[in-house]
Amino acid sequence: MVMGLGAAGALGQLGGINALAQTNAPGYKALVCVFLFGGCDANSVVIPTDNAGYTAYTNVRRTIAIPQSQLLPATSQGSATYGLPPAMPGLQSLFQTGKAAVVANVGTLVRPLTRAQYQANQQPVPANLFSHSDQQQQWQSATPIGIAQSGWAGRIADQVQTLNQPSKFPTAVSVNGNSLFLIGQQTQPSQIASPNLAVLDQQKRAGDGERLNALQQVLTLASGATLVQAAGTRINDSLTVLRQASDAFATLPNLTTPFPTTALGNQLRQIVRLMQIRDTVGLQRQIFFCSQGGYDTHENQPGAHPRLLTELSEAIAAFQLAMEELGLSEKVTLFTESEFSRTFQPNASNGTDHAWGGHQVVTGGAVRGGFYGTYPSMVLGGADDSGSRGNWIPSTSLDQYGATLARWFGVPEAGLSTVFPNLGNFATANLGFLKA
């Protein structure tokens, strides 16, 4: 069956890039963002296991609390110990081998903020808190106020682009839809969701080559109309990248680590493939975006949340094994994001509602395993609550979390404030959860 005629050819100039890339291969690094859409209830991911902490937890959570005996021991800070829900043995194993860290109560901030300041409206705060769309954009852009045109990973890609030259292959790739996260000020991401690209260079019959040429011309014609131009350019660039990836996938090395055949498992498996072609496409730095949806658990959270966390945990564990198989464990760091956490206090539907600061997880061989940041006080209306239901005001900003990753990735000190314009508002730019 003829499957259409996608990207044009003329990509034969890659040979030179290969040789160059391989000589620099030891410097390879990659960042992998797993975005948990819907607002993951972090209160149900990192749970106090010491008696005092667990009591505070269960006093509020009541209807949706996980029994203390079922929690999986994971990490500690001082005398406080923390566990994972029973759905996450895979992630637990990474904590046990020191390849996972939790960063507690991270969120969008303009500058450090107290409950009093928030309630008195004395400090700038991120726009449209508790709104999915706005908080997703802010987590991806590190732009808490105003309309963002680029994402912080895109700006990291801008900062490291000299390491990837002269490759034309995008540094930043999403394997599941478009995201603001990867859009740079100079560099553009792409999206490569499937190993089966069927890029269809059917230059077999008479006239096929001419049709491909015409396609490219039609797509890149200067039309003077903004949206027409944007659509044509995006499609043409996409086809070009896919063609390049498709060619590279043709000689994909084997991978023996099994991946769960879940949506997230498939995405991380695809990310591994894109790492495996790094030399072919000539990249020393890669940034990936994948995601998992369904975390907006307003209702029946005890039913829905464990299924989501199982998928997350299994996929991350498989990914780490794959990195070890490929010898990339020290070079690749995976981290989670989510637009917000959820109210500590449940609602009437056995669910939780939109909140603010939450706990994130970082995994990989470069991670200094353990607990970072400050766990919230778990008091409704207390010092950490922006309101009355346990809407934790973040004690660590997204900027600090991201900057720690960016520094490890190779963004120079001077570039960090370009990537995170508000970074200077916070005490430290390095949370220390990654090895130097």
Partner 1 sequence: MWFRVTFFVLSISLLSGQQAGVSVSPAAVALRVGESRTFTAAGLGSNTATAVRWTATAGTISAAGQFTAPAAVPVGGTVTVRATLAADATKTATAVVTLQNAKPVINALAPAAVNTGLAYTLRIRGTNFMPTSAVRLAGKPAKPRFLNSTELEVTATADNPAGNAIDVVVLNPDPGGAASNVRALAVNPAVKVTVSPATATVRGGATLKLYAAVANTVATVVDWHVNGIAGGNAEVGRIDATGLYTAPAAVPAAGKVEVKAVSRLDARAFGLATINLLSPVPVLSSATPTSVKIGPAATLFTLNGSLFTPASKVLLGSLEAKVTFVSTTQLRATATLAPVAGQMTTVRVVNPAPGGGESAPLVVRLENAQQLMSYGAAVRFLEQASYGAHPEAIAKLQATGRAAWLAEQFRLPVTPLPDAVPPAPNMGNEGLGRLRTTWIQNALNAPDQLRHRVAFALHSILVVSGVDLSEHRQYVPYLRILHEEAFGNYRRLLERITLNPAMGRYLNMMNNAKANPARNTVANENYARELLQLFTIGLVQLNPDGTPKAGSPATFTPANIPEMAKVFTGWTSAPQNGAAPRFRAPDNWAAPMIPIEAEHDTTAKAILPGVTLPAGQMAQQDLSAALDAIFNHPNVGPFVSYRLIQRLVTSNPSPAYVERVARVFNSNSSGLRGDLKEVVTAILTDPEAGTGDGAYSELSAGQGALREPLALTLNLIRALDMRSNGALAGTLIGLGQNLFSPNSVFSYFSPFSKPGPEFQALNATSALNTVNLIYRFTSNSTGSAAVFDLTPWDQLAADPDALITAAANALNRGTLPAGARSAIVAAVNAQTSRRMKAITALYLVGVSPQVLVKR
What residues between 361 and 390 interact with partner 1 by CB under 8 A? 386-389
CB-nearer residue toward partner 1: 80 or 127 = 127
CA angle, 162 as apex, 189 and 30 as ends, to 5°?
55
Per this entry, what is the length of the chain?
436
Q: Which of residues 199-218 bind partner 1 (CB under 8 A)?
A: 199-200, 205-207, 209-211, 213-215, 217-218
CB of 199 to partner 1, least distance (A): 7
- Decide if residue 354 touches partner 1 (CB under 8 A): yes
Q: Which are the contacts of 3, defined by CB distance < 8 A and separation ≥ 6?
A: 198, 200, 202
- Of the candidates 149, 185, 186, 428, which one interacts with partner 1 according to CB under 8 A? 149
In the complex with partner 1, the residue whose CB is nearer, 63 or 97, is 63
Nearer to partner 1 among residue 127 and residue 326 (C-beta)? 127
25 or 221: CB nearest partner 1 = 221
Calpha distance 216→210 (Å, rounded):
10
The string over 403-428, giving b where at least 16 C-beta atoms fall within 10 Å of a residue's C-beta and e elsewhere, is bbbbbbbebeeebbebbbebbeebee
Least gap, CB of 283 to partner 1 (angstroms) = 16
Q: How far is the CB of 425 from partner 1 (least distance, A)?
A: 21
Q: How is residue 254 annotated by DSSP?
A: P
Among 25, 52, 230, 383, binds partner 1 (CB under 8 A): 230
195, two tokens: 């190993």
Containing 84, the helix (H) or strand (E) segment is: strand 80-84
Q: Does 238 bind partner 1 (CB under 8 A)?
A: yes
CA distance readout (Å), 251 to 265, 266, 277: 22, 20, 9
Between residues 176 and 329, which has the closer beta carbon with respect to partner 1? 176
- How far the first Cα of the chain sits from its last, in Å, is 52
Alpha carbons 65 and 392: distance in angstroms, whole number: 18
Among 157, 241, 315, 416, binds partner 1 (CB under 8 A): 241
* Residues 177-196 within binding reach of partner 1 (CB under 8 A): 177-178, 190-194
CB of 4 or CB of 412, closer to partner 1: 4
Q: Which of 129, 312, 323, 423 binds partner 1 (CB under 8 A)?
A: 129
Q: Which of 228, 383, 424, 435 binds partner 1 (CB under 8 A)?
A: 228
The closest alpha carbon to 279, from 26, 51, 10, 4, belongs to: 26
CB 244 within 8 A of CB 196: no
Given the structure tokens 């500590």, which residue do they identify? 344
Sheet with 72-77, edge to edge strand ranges:
47-48, 80-84, 72-77
**Residues between 273 and 332 with contacts to partner 1, criterion CB under 8 A:** 293-294, 296, 298-299
Query: Do 394 and 371 contact (CB within 8 A), yes or no?
Result: no
Amino acid 139 reads W
Binding of partner 1 by 250 (CB under 8 A): no
Nearest-angstrom CA–CA distance, 410 and 361: 21
Residues 16-35 that bind partner 1 (CB under 8 A): none
Query: Which is closer to partner 1, CB of 279 or CB of 353?
Result: 353
130 touches partner 1 (CB under 8 A):
yes
Site membership for partner 1, residue 348 (CB under 8 A)? yes
Residue 307 or 435: the one with the smaller Cβ distance to partner 1 is 307
C-alpha–C-alpha distance, residues 70 and 89, integer Å: 11
Q: Which is nearer to partner 1, 24 or 128 (CB)?
A: 128
- Strand, coil or helix: 323: helix
227 binds partner 1 (CB under 8 A): yes
**DSSP reduced 3-state for 37:** coil
CB of 334 to partner 1, least distance (A): 22
d(CA 311, CA 318): 11
Task: Give the total of residues touching partner 1 (CB under 8 A).
Answer: 83
Nearer to partner 1, 48 or 346 (CB): 346
Question: Minimum CB separation from partner 1 for residue 405, in Å?
Answer: 24
Question: 258: which DSSP letter?
Answer: -
Candidates 93, 128, 161, 203: give the one binding partner 1 (CB under 8 A).
128
Q: Which is nearer to partner 1, 229 or 374 (CB)?
A: 229
CB of 375 to partner 1, least distance (A): 20
Q: Please report, as residue ranges, which positions from 56 to 115 form the binding site for partner 1 (by CB under 8 A).
A: 59-60, 62-63
Three-class secondary structure of residue 200 per DSSP: coil
